[in-house]
Structures are given as C-alpha cells and as structure tokens.
Amino acid sequence: MSSHNTPDSAESPFRHERTARDEAPQFVLPLVVRMERAAPPARTDALETAARAVLAMLSDERSLGDGEWAQAMSDWQDARIRKVVRRARGAEWRRAEALPGITVTGKSAEVRVFPPVPLDGWPKDLVKLQVSGTDLDDPEEPAAPDLSQPVLWMNPTLDMSAGKAMAQAGHGAQLAWWELSDEERVAWREAGFPLSVRTAPESRWAELTGSGLPVVRDAGFTEIAPGSCTVVADHAALRG
C-alpha cells in the first residue's frame, strides 16, 4: 500500500485545519482545459479527463525516482495538494501545449497537466489564462457508471463550477491512487485509467462518506466552505 497519509490522517493534504503541511513551501498542479468557443467539452467528460490527467502525471516515469519532474512532485505532495484549472483556446492552447506536460484526451475534452509550480511561480503562458468561465454542461444525462470500475462520486449538495469540480475529481483520483498497492496501480494504468465521475444520489451521500472509502475534504480556498466533503473515491480494491 502507499506510504502517503490516508484521507483520515491528521495531516491529510485535503483537510482544512492547519497542519505541518502548511509550513512547507506551497506548490500547485496546473491543469488547462481546452475550451474552443464552437466546441466546448461536455462537463462530465471534462471532469473524467481531468482525473485521468492527474493520474497520468502521478504515474509518469518523469514524476518518479530520478525523473525530471520528481522533485517538483515530491515538494508538491509534501505540502497542501492544490490543483488549479484554467481554460485556453486557439493560440493560448497551442502555447500551453508547447510547455512540458501531458495532454489527456477524452470523448470531447482535452486537458493538459503540467508538473507542479510554486504558488507564485506560474509560467507566463499559463498565468495569463483565465480560471473563471469554466462553466460546462452535459448535452445529455450521463449513463449509469460501470461499478466494476472506479467511480468518483461528487457531493450532490454542492454547486461547483466545472473548473472547481475538475480539480476535486483530480483530488479524488489522487486519493484512490495513494491507497492502491503497486500491483493495483500498474493494472489501472495499463488499462488506461478507466473511471467515471458522477454526482452521487442524495440518498446515498451519507452512506458513501461513512463507508471508509477515501473522502476529499476541501481546504476552502475557493468557492466552498472549508471542510466540505466534495468527492468519495470508490474503487473496488478499496472496498471493505
């Protein structure tokens, strides 16, 4: 199993109470979603693609061992786990693609994830990009999730922008990743990180948050109250 703190640890990177993680230099994982005017992505596909992008970054050989991104990844994971989603189109997207990172493509969404940067040290071609305006819709109701694969259940009582929800889905995927064994991680990666993101039925939310599965508790930096439970990461390997 992963040696990282579990989501219920007193030093969980997602809790809002001040911990030793707050004393470390703070980093952020940048994600950029492609938002062309004529063809914006579907909301659920954007959330799922963002979650897979985070997993791609966590598992990339450049993030591990002596890889070129390993130190930045270590520094980021030793502090609060922050992710910020910005949007880009046209020339903005092309400039973002030219920077070191990984682009993950869904059915309609493209998300590029970059190695962590200091909170005040964003590359100039990313810092100019807008955070607001990532409001997306699903053209049709998402199908029921495949429960044999990981499902990231979103809190049905919270109203989050698509950008905020994408970051939260990434948090949920990261908690699931930390809790898996090396063998389970390899199997998930080799399968292409299949997963679903769905809003939980209100009738099941209390059951999910009390199930012992990894829960993201937001630090409250943006949009929602500190300590809000945003995502439950449901992976077959993590069920009791």
- Please tell me whether residue 103 adopts helix, strand or coil conformation: strand
Give the DSSP H or E segment for 154: strand 151-154
Q: How far is 153 from 151, CA to CA, in rounded Å?
A: 6
Beta bridge partners of 229: 217
pTM over 0.85? The answer is yes
Q: How far is 196 from 151, CA to CA, in rounded Å?
A: 5
* Residue 156 main-chain phi, psi, to 5 deg: -75, -10
pLDDT at 221 (0 to 100): 64
Mean pLDDT, each 10-residue run in order, the chain (240 residues): 36 53 80 94 97 98 97 88 93 97 97 95 92 82 93 94 94 94 95 97 94 85 76 85
The structure tokens listed for 240 are 């009791």
Dihedral, CA atoms, 203, 204, 210, 216, nearest 10 degrees?
A: -110
Give the DSSP H or E segment for 167: helix 162-179
Query: Whole-angstrom distance between the N-terminal and C-terminal Cα of the chain?
Result: 15
Q: How far is 27 from 119, CA to CA, in rounded Å?
A: 5
* Residue 234 main-chain phi, psi, to 5 deg: -105, 110
